[in-house]
Chains A and B, each alone.
Chain A
Amino acid sequence: MEANGTKGLVLDEPLIFEKSSPGRVGIGPAHSDVPEADPSKTLPSKFLRKGIEGFPDISEMDAVRHYTRLSQWNFGLDSGFYPLGSCTMKYNPKINEAAARLPGFAMLHPYQPEHLSQGALELMHSLENYLAEITGMEAITLQPSAGAHGELCGLLMMAAYFKAQGKPRTKIIIPDTAHGTNPASSHLAGFKVVPVKTEGKGALSVEMVKAVMDEDTAGLMLTNPNTIGLFEKNIKEIAEVVHSKGGLMYCDGANMNAVMGLVKLGDLGVDVVQLNLHKTFSTPHGGGGPGSGPVGVGKALEPFLPCPRIKKDGGKFSLDFNRPNTIGRMKAFYGNFSIMVRAYSYIRRMGASGLRRASETAILNANYIKERLKGTYHLAFDEPCMHEAVFSDKFQLGSGISTMDIAKRLIDYGYHPPTVYFPLVVHGAIMIEPTETETIDTLDRFIDVMKAIAEEAKTDPQLLKDAPNKTKIRRVDETRAAREPILRWKKV
């Protein structure tokens, strides 16, 4: 099959600093309507700087061209299929962008009086309720800025819960399939990580948890559906084991897109869960954020939620700071509000049946890819998957072709590669998450391309080794970036 990423006219563009011409003005500030205060007469000289070394001076139009060219070197979800596993790259609806930019949402100061902010507080309060309903949890905080921030928040609440009982606990159990953020967040929250191996089928067994769960262990951090794309079937029994020792069940909800309207985590014994609005709830990823990582809790952890809480009293909304057991605050102000507006828009647009349909369709699409590629690529675990399927390069290794080569060759065909080399338990993992917003035509073509690449791996492996050929730059030397670090531009 002909690789059909084609080369357009891609223009070179220097660093912004290399385009600078001292004295050139872009967009100057407003004219002053007050007498000008001479800084050198207003402030002691020890506080003042002369200039800013190297700061660029660019015309407005050159700045626009600079960033336009840079954008053209990027591949976004709007450019093409982006089956990045565990990242839920679903369509980012344009109405959400318009919503977040409404002046009545964008032009609010976090400290303006509550009675002038009723719409914002109402939106947050409703969003909390919707997320509580979707997860089956008692209460939600919208404060954390991202998934890992939500993890930290949840873990700190767990620590506070045991401390309040007068019996602080020091350990937490984390399966080997977990995202790297889980152990990192646990460490930050002061827990020692007890790793547990998953079994042959990629699922956690009740016995494994029984063997390590004790009364010095705060609980278990489980991703469900897990990073292999399978639902942890024993979750209820596992939760019982954890609870029997007085522990709490933490669920990493990064993969919530598989279960909306199908099951509620609260019904499965989960005590605390973080959500990623920038995955499941369609808010854009921004080339690396901003996201939003709300946390849901059951009754036991409710008193420990971060401050402030949003209170509804009759038809009036307010911020409640009077929470004696709170863990404190995770950040300044109330969370990433404009991301909440987008997620709220999404939920209202979809409605209950739409959310369920989204999860069902995500599962359908993933199983379709899994079924149709399973003879061509090694499938890590051959059973019905949830929202993503994990393959590996096992069949291709014989031709000297690795997962990285397959990923880079996909780029030539106009696709963003799947998540590669994760989860760590699958050697050479290729983790594909199509999401529900892709048509079957897109999936069919992607499947054909994946098959064509497998064929190329046999007949012309060099083609894969050389890939990508059609991008502005070829494979980059990441080792050199780390060994000879250049982390900023400097005037030569």
Chain B
Amino acid sequence: MPYIPHTAKDIAKILKAVGAGSVEELFSQLPAASRLKGPLAIPDGLSEQELLGHLKSLSSKNSTIEEYSSFLGAGAYNHYIPSIVDAVISRSEFYTSYTPYQPELSQGTLQAIFEYQTLVCQLTGMDVANASLYDGATAVAEACLMAKRITGREGIVLANALHPEYRETVATYLTGTGDHLSEVLYCAETGTTLPEAIDAACTDKTACVVIQHPNFFGSLEDIEAIAEVVHRKKALLVVAVTEAVSFGLLKALGESGCDIAVGENQSFGNSLSYGGPYLGFMATKTEFVRQMPGRLIGQTVDREGRRAFCLTFATREQHIRRERATSNICTNHGLCALAASVHMVSLGSGGLRKLAELNLSKAEYLKKKLKEAGVEVAFTSPSFNEFTVKVKGGAEAALKKLLDKKIIGGLALNRHYPELGEYLLIAATEMNSKEEMDSLAAALK
């Protein structure tokens, strides 16, 4: 039997030691009438060789983004992952260990995550970051709950230009504790969330406003102007980032008046894997740290005064505080955070800047090519590596046509924005070659 080492002799030895005549005797606690008589309706076990063959054939029923030219982004980005990432996260001392409850045996994980927390602080320009959350969507939801705790207010204002699936996740999370959600529409011309629209949506009951930057349409938001409006209403500004490579170029959120920075760090070191596991991050100001959800690693010393790391601020957490915890999160996404760290570190400050510039260059080139092909760029606001275009005849029809040319042309926005039936969200990263982009533009002509 795979993975189970017992021989008949071993089983006999155990049964003798425990004074049982058979394995069944040990299940005496299970209600006799409900015990299964026959086997589960699950196929017989496969040898490892058979299993790999089966998995290969199953996976070959998928077409990868390597077989197609893909311009999909929308919260999951195709970036090159250096070989060093998998080499490090494949070390089983990292991936087969549990949450670091025993610091003496877990200094590797603890120091790596302490470094990750620091990297997130540096990217976001915030004071303090947690060890990880599940993904960008749940990170936004947790930020809303955190803002409610800090302000004692109920109202949550979401920008409509925040990722639709993030908004849906927030709505799900808030049903339990009171749903006081409202949305602010984007400006049809700029594709951004206007400060005056946010001003109109905020009341003296607003706990926080959540915007995305660059937003779901790829447009850059005027965070400083928005922060001013939000703070005037004594609410908190939550800024979500889905494309973390933008940190290499765009102004740090902490310098723009953001109170809670959250989002998705998948872009660093984590493969697309059909949507998960990804890597939620959260960073905030020192004054809010005790209201922050999720694990936190702190620096301390051991008995002999040497630098050491351990889980800290556990009194915020469920195993101590139970129903009064800041969150129910327990297992987080530690290995994804390690992968992101390794990618960031291997890029370094110069490499990250270059990578961000390269993404900008690619997107600007594609924009130019599309314009030349007569495709209308939808919004006037500047963008990073993703932008929205208007395609005559509808986005769905255009995507279908592109598939014949082995191009996945982006995301049709109509599913989430019925008013944007002709609009297509297109991302270009370092993975998209000039030829691919030329083909896309030619095909949309």
Q: How far is the CA of A134 from the CA of B40 in the complex (A)?
A: 7
Assess whether B76 is interfacial by the CB under 8 Å rule: yes
Q: How far is the CA of A67 from the CA of B58 in the complex (A)?
A: 34
Is B23 touching A363 in the complex (CB atoms < 8 A)?
Answer: yes
Known: A26-B348, A180-B320. 6 other contacts (CB 8 A): A74-B105, A110-B275, A119-B59, A190-B176, A262-B36, A351-B44
Most buried by B among A24, A28, A260: A28
Q: How far is the CA of A478 from the CA of B358 in the complex (A)?
A: 44
Is B333 touching A485 in the complex (CB atoms < 8 A)?
Answer: no
Given known A76-B97, A476-B308, contact A149–B134 (CB-CB < 8 A): yes
Given known A184-B323, A367-B14, A437-B5, contact A48–B95 (CB-CB < 8 A): no
Assess whether B342 is interfacial by the CB under 8 Å rule: yes
Given known A233-B29, A351-B45, contact A181–B51 (CB-CB < 8 A): no
Given known A78-B96, A489-B115, contact A236–B171 (CB-CB < 8 A): no
Given known A122-B61, A130-B42, A134-B42, contact A17–B115 (CB-CB < 8 A): yes
Assess whether A169 is interfacial by the CB under 8 Å rule: no
- Min CB gap B29→A, angstroms: 4
Interface string of B109-133 (1 = CB under 8 A from A): 1011111011101110001110110
Residues of B within 8 A of A405 (CB): none
Assess whether A492 is interfacial by the CB under 8 Å rule: no
Is B3 touching A93 in the complex (CB atoms < 8 A)?
Answer: yes
Given A13, A259, A474, which contacts B30 in the complex, CB threshold below 8 Å?
Answer: A259
Most buried by B among A104, A183, A356, A468: A104
Is A354 touching B134 in the complex (CB atoms < 8 A)?
Answer: no
Total chain A interface residues with beta-carbon distance under 8 A: 207
Assess whether A309 is interfacial by the CB under 8 Å rule: no
- CB-defined A-B contacts under 8 Å, sample of 7: A262-B27, A290-B134, A328-B168, A335-B276, A348-B43, A353-B1, A471-B104
Q: How far is the CA of A266 from the CA of B105 in the complex (A)?
A: 39
Residues of A within 8 A of B422 (CB): none
Is A27 touching B347 in the complex (CB atoms < 8 A)?
Answer: yes
Which B residues, 304 to 326, have Cβ-Cβ distances below 8 Å to chain A? 304, 306, 308-315, 317-325
- Min CB gap B165→A, angstroms: 4
Residues of B within 8 A of A360 (CB): 23
Assess whether A324 is interfacial by the CB under 8 Å rule: no
Is B348 touching A368 in the complex (CB atoms < 8 A)?
Answer: no
Is A287 touching B138 in the complex (CB atoms < 8 A)?
Answer: no
Given known A57-B348, A71-B91, A367-B14, contact A49–B251 (CB-CB < 8 A): yes
Total chain B interface residues with beta-carbon distance under 8 A: 203
Assess whether A306 is interfacial by the CB under 8 Å rule: yes
Interface string of A418-451 (1 = CB under 8 A from B): 0000100000000000001111100000000000
Given B2, B26, B41, B119, which contacts A352 in the complex, CB threshold below 8 Å?
Answer: B41
Assess whether A295 is interfacial by the CB under 8 Å rule: no
Which A residues, 91 to 141, have Cβ-Cβ distances below 8 Å to chain B? 91-93, 95, 97-113, 116-120, 122-123, 130, 133-134
Residues of B within 8 A of A356 (CB): 39-40
Q: How far is the CA of A348 from the CA of B3 in the complex (A)?
A: 13
Residues of A within 8 A of B86 (CB): 101
Is B334 touching A288 in the complex (CB atoms < 8 A)?
Answer: yes
Given known A29-B358, A147-B331, contact A337–B275 (CB-CB < 8 A): yes
Given known A116-B62, A333-B76, A337-B273, contact A76–B95 (CB-CB < 8 A): yes
Given known A26-B348, A29-B80, A145-B138, contact A119–B361 (CB-CB < 8 A): no
Is A334 touching B30 in the complex (CB atoms < 8 A)?
Answer: no
Is B334 touching A287 in the complex (CB atoms < 8 A)?
Answer: yes
Is B94 touching A286 in the complex (CB atoms < 8 A)?
Answer: yes
Q: How far is the CA of A34 from the CA of B365 in the complex (A)?
A: 7
Is B94 touching A71 in the complex (CB atoms < 8 A)?
Answer: yes
Assess whether A1 is interfacial by the CB under 8 Å rule: no
